[in-house]
Amino acid sequence: MQDLRSAAPALTTLSDEEQMFRDAVREFAETEVRPHVQSMDEAAQFRPELIPRFFELGLMGIEVPERFGGAGGGIFMSVLAIEELARVDASAAIYVDVHNTLVNNCFLRWGNDEQQARYFPQLTSGLLGAFALSEPGSGSDAFALATRAVRAGEGWELTGRKFWITNGAEAGVFIVFANADPSKGYKGITGFIVERGFPGFSVGKKENKLGIRASSTTELILEQCRVPEANVLGPIGQGYKIAIETLNEGRIGIGAQMIGLATGALEAATAYVKERRQFGKTIAEFQGVQFQLAQMATDLEAARLMVYNAARLKDAGQPFAQQAAMAKLFSSQVADRTTSSCLELFGGYGYSKEYPAEKYYRDAKIGTIYEGTSNMQLQTIAKSLLK
């Protein structure tokens, strides 16, 4: 593991600014998001008035420089926001996660001066972004994508379909990856900035999902979509590098989502076992229940340390790809186990939508799948170890 002494004095130590920020996000999540969690999940629809609130609270430009309307912070602050939102609703968290760790991160790393000046003021004030890499035939093998980009006049035409695009229903700008030279294989992949209003662009069907149901996950359709030359993101043929390096940061965000929702599930179960009575006493008095809670709390703390570690390393400018993969892998496993055990502690009520346990359980499953499956994280870690 990377020595973190130069990155932070202690992984779990928060500065006064970080603690105030976390408290503010928690208050917002409790007062403005929690009252609508169940109805949003049942309707599979996020309340549209909450997205502008994300922008008003400064949650959508955490790492963006202040001159563009952002907070000029680091990914650790994004982690705190995502974790606190996911503690209440994982769907709310993923809007903030994707916008910050994928879209804004892409512009920060690869956008030229003109692109940053044009888009950042919008991305920090009201324009929601989405990241479009996956396709029907390219999931884990992301670079087998079939979307094509061909030169057309002074710009490009993109043709293809993108699947499982988070924020797709509401986003106004999309980072889209297409192959501009299939003869070069993955080295032909190029990034493009596509606005919703570009000719030939449309949003397709919305997925009916198991979990994070209020978050929109859609298909994108590109039919000779016209993209100006000024909207090529990064060097032509470097899209594979842009995608990989962007997803490295994105995995830290998913880790934060997983520890947040696992925390919410554990808090709900802990409160319930202190109220539920069987055999003349609360079930919290049974040692078997106490041991389950203790093990879950220990696993969760370990996962949190791994996520914080990866975030601190990234902010310190140190290598973090291996730690990000480990954090995403382990936190998703912990969230899967924790939410399952919490559901069981609720007994029959855990299987009912009357209590929150079943939603946390459904929401957790996506953590082992998106932004790189668990097997892909293992492959990344193994490659790093064997390099």
Q: Which residues are catalytic?
A: 371
Tell me the longest C-alpha to C-alpha distance in the chain.
79
As a whole number of angstroms, the distance between CA 121 and CA 69 comes to 6
Given a contact cutoff of 8 angstroms between Cβ atoms, the answer to whether 242 and 108 are in contact is no
Strand partners, 282: 277
Residue 179's closest CA among 195, 160, 197, 193? 160
The full DSSP string for 187-218 is: GGEEEEEEETTSTTEEEEEEP--SSSTTS-EE
As a whole number of angstroms, the distance between CA 254 and CA 134 comes to 17
Query: Tokens 């969230």 label which residue?
Result: 335
155 Cβ neighbours under 8 A, 6+ residues apart: 226, 227, 228, 229, 231
The full DSSP string for 271-304 is: HHHTT-EETTEEGGGSHHHHHHHHHHHHHHHHHH
The alpha carbons of the chain give a radius of gyration, in whole angstroms, of 21
